[in-house]
Copies of this chain bind each other. A is one copy, B any other.
Amino acid sequence: MSNEVNVNTTPMKASQTHKKQEFLKLGVIQHIDVTRMPGIVPVVDAMQHMAFSARDLHRAADIYDRMLKDTDCGVILTLAGSMISAGLKKVIVDMIRNNMVDAIVSTGANMVDQDFFEALGFKHYIAEDRLKSGLFDGELRDCALDRIYDTLIDEEELRICDDTTQKIFEEMEPGQHSSREFLLAMGEYLEKQGGPKCADSIIYECYKRDIPIFCPAFSDCSAGFGLVTHMVNRGDGPRASWDGGKDFYELTQVKIKNPTTGLLMIGGGVPKNFTQDIVVCAEVLGHDAPMHKYAVQVTVADVRDGALSSSTLKEASSWGKVDTVYEQMVFSEATIAVPLIVGYAYHTGSHKARKAKRWSQIFEPTAIA
């Protein structure tokens, strides 16, 4: 009797029309594969001797390369903005497969609405240029198409994603879980289903390689709908709940156990701030953890409004979070800068001498519950 409440999988706005296929005619987003592009290296190398953002981009790529060469260093990737729907999924999967990242801290949307969504076999669609104007959003709504700037999502498919998260949560042990545990359960689900229904999945790949993923605002995504419907379903009975404090505890444990860390930050927001804060949290708990030794951020955010997305890495050093020797901000939209930075580090090959940290093993099977 526990399954009376379910995700309403047909959005009320979906009045099926022939228009829908017309809107989707430009085809699907395809993820860039930098492993096939060794030609990135001379481009980035040349940028070292230029000015402005090119020089910054080179230095960011060089710092990421230094993180990989420093085998003590654990690399934490933070993700904000719609990066997976934008075509950067394979870049991140290739980082995972090649020991170029040890933990991921992300917005829920990137992991659940976008990566897990594609792992269920769905796709993101290229929107026509005119749709960016916003003037057709009413028509898109009638077709149950959601827009991310120049990209479209089929809302009916997204509801299936919402619904699937609920089903997974229904199977979990009742109790308080970190987002890492929920994402692990999603990886297990994919495994049981015979793997993702697409070539690459971050959640699945991390599951297989003991790479923890944290979503410190986990209810703010497709999984949020699963959390709520699961909660309503269970009523007063025991249920799996997301314990956000546990996320912070767990990521701090990583810092305590592996003091040398480097951050590769795509966008800012909660993932950036949350990850920077673990240095302070370790200290609050009485551990003398060093600041993040390396830090790179790619963002278009403006530094002048005091927002977290844009606060400079130098500023973070006043808080005792980020050391200032190896830090670099790159003011560029990520779809251009990230393939260059990661492609550069991939083809210089420093990852080859690097071992997987398998940080998920810190928590299993001894995590606080």
Interface readout for A12-41 with B: 1 if CB under 8 Å, 0 if not? 110000000000000111111100111111
List the B residue with the shortest CB-CB distance to A347. Answer: B39
The stretch among A188-196, A205-213, A265-273, A356-364 that forms the contact with chain B is A265-273
A141 to B322, CA, bound (A): 11
Judge whether B150 and A284 touch: CB under 8 Å. Answer: no
Tell me the minimal C-beta distance from A230 to chain B in angstroms: 8
Q: Which of A62-70, A94-102, A246-254 contacts B (4 or more CB under 8 A)?
A: A246-254
- Choose among B87, B135, B150, B286 the residue that contacts A8 (Cβ–Cβ < 8 A): B286
A53 to B300, CA, bound (A): 11
Cα A173 to Cα B32 with chains together (Å): 50
Rounded to whole angstroms, the CA-CA distance of A317 and B145 in the bound complex is: 10
| Interface status of A218 (Cβ within 8 A of chain B) | yes
Q: How many residues of A contact B (CB 8 A)?
A: 129
Determine if A42 is an interface residue (Cβ-Cβ < 8 Å).
Answer: yes
**Other-chain residue from B51, B138, B248, B336 in contact with A53 (beta carbon distance below 8 A):** B336
Q: From residue A29, how far is it (CB to closest CB) to chain B in Å?
A: 6
A281 in contact with B318 (CB, 8 Å): no
Q: Which residues of B contact A92 (CB under 8 A)?
A: none
Bound-state Cα–Cα, A64 to B124, Å: 28
Q: Which B residue's beta carbon lies closest to that of A338?
A: B54
Q: Which of B162, B227, B244, B301 lies in contact with A218, CB distance below 8 A?
A: B244
Q: Is A126 a contact partner of B284 (Cβ separation < 8 A)?
A: no
Q: Residues on A close to B: CB < 8 A?
A: 5, 7-8, 11-13, 27-33, 36-43, 46-47, 49-55, 57, 80-82, 85-88, 107, 109, 124, 126, 130, 133-135, 137-138, 140-141, 145-151, 155, 159, 162, 176, 216-220, 224-225, 227-232, 235-236, 241-249, 252, 267, 269-270, 273-274, 277, 280-281, 283-286, 288, 300-309, 311-312, 314-315, 317-320, 324, 331-337, 339-340, 343, 368
Per CB-CB distance, the 9 closest pairs between chain A and chain B, nearest first, are A39-B39, A134-B314, A227-B245, A50-B87, A133-B133, A54-B335, A30-B49, A51-B86, A53-B333
Interface CB pairs A-B, < 8 A, 28: A5-B286, A30-B49, A36-B42, A39-B42, A46-B339, A50-B88, A50-B335, A51-B306, A52-B86, A80-B307, A134-B314, A137-B318, A137-B324, A145-B318, A148-B306, A149-B311, A224-B245, A224-B277, A227-B248, A231-B245, A241-B243, A241-B246, A242-B243, A300-B307, A302-B302, A305-B334, A307-B309, A309-B309
